[in-house]
Amino acid sequence: MLRPRRDDDSPINPLDHGIHRLPSHVAIIMDGNGRWARSRGNVRLKGHHEGAKAVRRALSFARRIGVRYLTLYAFSEQNWGRPPAEVEGLMSLLMKHIRSERDDLQDKGIRFRTIGNIDKMSPSIVTAIRDLEEHTRGNDELDLIVALSYGGREELVHATRQIAARVAAGELSPDAITAATISDNTYTAGIPDPDLMIRTSGEMRVSNFMLWQLAYTELYVTDIYWPDFNDEHFIKALHSYDSRQRRFGLTGDQAKR
Ligand code: FPP
């Protein structure tokens, strides 16, 4: 008997996993690479290499199940303070993946975008990032948003400066500033806020990630270290999301309407 072909690229029906409501935007704090490596007697960089494999896995899963936006916290503004060898290792890992994933991202209809103070990175990485963003601009299967040299407070400073400049130029009255004005000046302008934020390795912190955008996001924390995060763990997080009632400050009865 012919069996349906199941390969890495086959769509996943959320209903087959008992998931009735899928988040459109999932954001992930990929934590625990260093501890994963140390717990195996390896150097931290080994954890980042395995973490990059988990990125590929999560991206493939998200696309196949129908998540529309996936934001990954890959390098924070504060990560610049790590030992230079680790920073260099992370940068070369990033560069390697920007090059090696180019064709696959294009073939799969994935749009690559970044958020953060990218200009702090080396000119060769900035060029590679801008080139990949441009190359995949027309894709609309899934937006992969990688947070690089990113900090939530720094993003709000950036947005405030842009708004203040318009006020100073007489283009905008302070009274006309609304929450939408701030959203429009963040790095994620035009991208809906995350519905679900997953954090691995058990830490109950937001760690300067998407401070503005997470206002009504459902949070899910798992003890799994990022390099071990697989489809099964992703499904558990989606189940948890499916079971939540999002109220956006209203009562349970109001939110049902
Ligand atoms: C957090 O673990 C992880 C990072 C700071 C880096 C994340 C980078 C990758 C997964 C690889 C590159 C990404 C792409 C998009 C190709 P940690 O080092 O803070 O771990 P610890 O808390 O156990 O020390």
| pLDDT per residue as tens digits for the range 106-157 | 999 999 999 999 999 999 999 999 999 999 999 999 999 999 999 999 999 9
Distance between CA atoms of residues 183 and 181, nearest Å: 6
Is residue 164 in some structural domain?
no
Q: 3-state class of 68 per DSSP?
A: coil
For the segment 74-98, the average pLDDT, to the nearest whole number, is: 97
Number of domains into which the chain is organized? 1
The angle subtended at Cα 37 by Cα 125 and Cα 92, nearest 5°, is: 10
Is residue 239 in some structural domain?
yes
Name the token pair of 226. Answer: 């990022």
Sign, CA torsion 84/207/183/110: positive
What CATH number corresponds to the domain at position 77? 3.40.1180.10
Q: Under a CB-based contact definition with an 8 Å cutoff, are residues 201 and 35 in contact? A: yes
For the segment 217-227, the average pLDDT, to the nearest whole number, is: 98
Q: Is 207 in the pocket of ligand 1 (CB under 6 A)?
A: no
| Best CA proximity match to 194, nearest among 26, 22, 14 | 26
For the segment 58-76, the average pLDDT, to the nearest whole number, is: 98
Is residue 168 in some structural domain?
no
Is residue 182 in some structural domain?
no
Radius of gyration of the chain (CA): 19
31, 143, 193, 195: the catalytic one is: 31
Is residue 88 in some structural domain?
yes
| pLDDT of the residue at 165 | 98
Ligand 1: which of 28, 29, 33, 96 to mutate, judged by most atoms within 8 Å of the beta carbon? 33
Q: How remote is the C-alpha of 176 from its chain's centroid?
A: 31
Q: Is the pLDDT of residue 4 over 50?
A: no
Task: Look at ligand 1, atom 12, and give the residue with the nearest C-alpha.
Answer: 52
* Digit-coded pLDDT (tens) for 169-218: 999 999 999 999 999 999 999 999 999 999 999 999 999 999 999 999 99
Q: Is the pLDDT of residue 254 over 90?
A: no
For the segment 41-53, the average pLDDT, to the nearest whole number, is: 97
The Å distance, Cα 74 to ligand 1 centre, comes to 6
Band (pLDDT 50/70/90 cuts) for residue 256 is confident
Q: Is the pLDDT of residue 91 over 70?
A: yes
Q: Is the pLDDT of residue 3 over 50?
A: no
* Digit-coded pLDDT (tens) for 225-251: 999 999 999 999 999 999 998 788 888
Cβ neighbourhood burial of 73 (10 Å; 0-12, 13-18, 19+): buried
Q: Is 94 in the pocket of ligand 1 (CB under 6 A)?
A: yes
Range of the domain at 88: 25-149+195-243
Ligand 1: which of 29, 31, 80 to mutate, judged by most atoms within 8 Å of the beta carbon? 31
Is residue 154 in some structural domain?
no
Q: Is the pLDDT of residue 1 over 80?
A: no
Query: Which atom in ligand 1 lies closest to the alpha carbon of residue 86?
Result: 18
For the segment 90-102, the average pLDDT, to the nearest whole number, is: 97
| pLDDT of the residue at 19 | 96
Q: Is the pLDDT of residue 257 over 90?
A: no
Q: Which residues contact 71 (CB under 8 A, 6 or more apart)?
A: 25, 26, 27, 28, 115, 145, 146, 147, 188, 194, 210
Is residue 15 in some structural domain?
no
Q: Is 50 in the pocket of ligand 1 (CB under 6 A)?
A: no
42, 79, 117, 139: the catalytic one is: 79
Phi, psi of 110, rounded to the nearest 5 degrees: -95, 130
| pLDDT of the residue at 2 | 46
Q: Is the pLDDT of residue 164 over 70?
A: yes
Angular region, 207: left φ>0, alpha ψ -120 to 50, beta rest:
left
Task: Look up 79 and say whether it is catalytic.
Answer: yes
Tell me, letter by letter, the H, E, C secondary structure of 10-57: CCCCHHHHCCCCCCCEEEEECCCHHHHHHCCCCCHHHHHHHHHHHHHH
Q: Is 48 in the pocket of ligand 1 (CB under 6 A)?
A: yes
Q: Which residues contact 90 (CB under 8 A, 6 or more apart)?
A: 45, 48, 74, 75, 79
For the segment 35-59, the average pLDDT, to the nearest whole number, is: 97
Is residue 180 in some structural domain?
no
